[in-house]
Amino acid sequence: MPLLKLTTTVKVTPEQRLALLPALSQTLAKTLGKPEGYVMVTLNSADILFAGQAEPAAFADVRSIGGLNRETNSRLACEVSQILHQVLGLPPARIFLNFTHVESANWGWNGDTLG
């Protein structure tokens, strides 16, 4: 059940949304080796002050049951940053990412937990 919660200051157009969400979902599934049918991507807008500046920025919170490690996290950081730069024009230096392994007993779906 990989999840990528994206929060950004950028006002995302409908066209950008149609490009961004599938690209992030496919990247997360491919990189983590999980079926895309279990991947969720959310997109939220927020005010963000980063490095003392209110310039365009984003925070990506990636959570998964398994699959996260130093190599995978590094690859995801690179690929997610590239997508955000290509689609939203965000410089990679204005993107923070967080990676969290979630125990299967702590993730619920379909009326039960996964562990």
Is residue 15 pLDDT above 90, yes or no?
Answer: yes
SS3 state at 108: strand
How many domains does one find in the chain?
Answer: 1
Q: pLDDT tens for residues 69-103? A: 999 999 999 999 999 999 999 999 999 999 999 99
Helices 70-88, 14-32: inter-axial angle, 10-degree rounding: 160
Annotation marks residue 14 as catalytic = no
Name the active-site residue from 2, 14, 56, 91. Answer: 2
* pLDDT 10s digits, 32-68: 999 999 999 999 999 999 999 999 999 999 999 999 9
* Residue span of the structural domain in which 56 resides: 3-113
CATH at residue 41 = 3.30.429.10
pLDDT at 1 over 90: no
